[in-house]
Amino acid sequence: MAMDIQYQAHVQDIGWQDEVQNGEEAGTTGRKLGLEAIKIKLNHAPPNVGVRYRAHVRDIGWQEWVENGQQAGTTGKDLSIEAIQIELFGGDPSDNLGVIYKPHLQELGWQFFVGNGAQAGTTGQDKRLEAIRIVLAHTTLKAFE
């Protein structure tokens, strides 16, 4: 069975949404609601491969890296995620397997895909992430259009 990526968003005024996977939209668009927390995990991954990620949260800044289904961001504090970094770890580097992700930002809409630990979103601009799409991809690029 092929490896896939699954993620779940905690949205302002809604709470935890259902899990989605492989490029599906987590969060909301057109409702002016911020992503407050996210959990990301791999399904059917080899034992030595995982995903780690961290969130830049309004009024807090960059949080510590978490991995494999742990929560990044906050709940119950009304603080939106403004930026996120996601990367895979472990595995064979020659596979060139990476992760790419595309954020939907307050007032700016959908942004370009970035990948492999690059920052998606903004810091210092008070722009909340409202939705995100995450995909596994064969790539070695940090950012691309």
27 within domain boundaries: yes
pLDDT digits (tens, 9 = 90+) for 34-64: 999 999 999 999 888 999 999 999 999 999 9
CB 105 within 8 A of CB 114: no
The residue among 141 and 114 whose pLDDT is bigger is 114
53 within domain boundaries: yes
* pTM of the predicted model as reported, rounded to 2 decimal places: 0.93
For residue 52, list its beta bridge partners. 67, 87
123 within domain boundaries: yes
Structural domains counted in the chain = 1
Residue span of the structural domain in which 46 resides: 4-138
106 within domain boundaries: yes
- Residue 12 above 50 pLDDT? yes
pLDDT digits (tens, 9 = 90+) for 31-41: 999 999 999 99
Return the SS3 of 102. Answer: strand
The structure tokens listed for 72 are 């990044």
Q: For position 114, what pLDDT does the model report?
A: 96
Q: How far apart are the first and last CA of the chain?
A: 30
16 within domain boundaries: yes
144 within domain boundaries: no
pLDDT digits (tens, 9 = 90+) for 92-124: 766 778 999 999 999 999 999 999 999 999 999
CB 5 within 8 A of CB 134: yes
- Residue 1 above 90 pLDDT? no
Other C-beta atoms lying within 10 Å of the C-beta of residue 125 = 13
Per-residue confidence band for 144, with pLDDT thresholds at 50, 70 and 90: very low
- Residue 71 above 90 pLDDT? yes
143 within domain boundaries: no
H-helix segments, 18-116: none
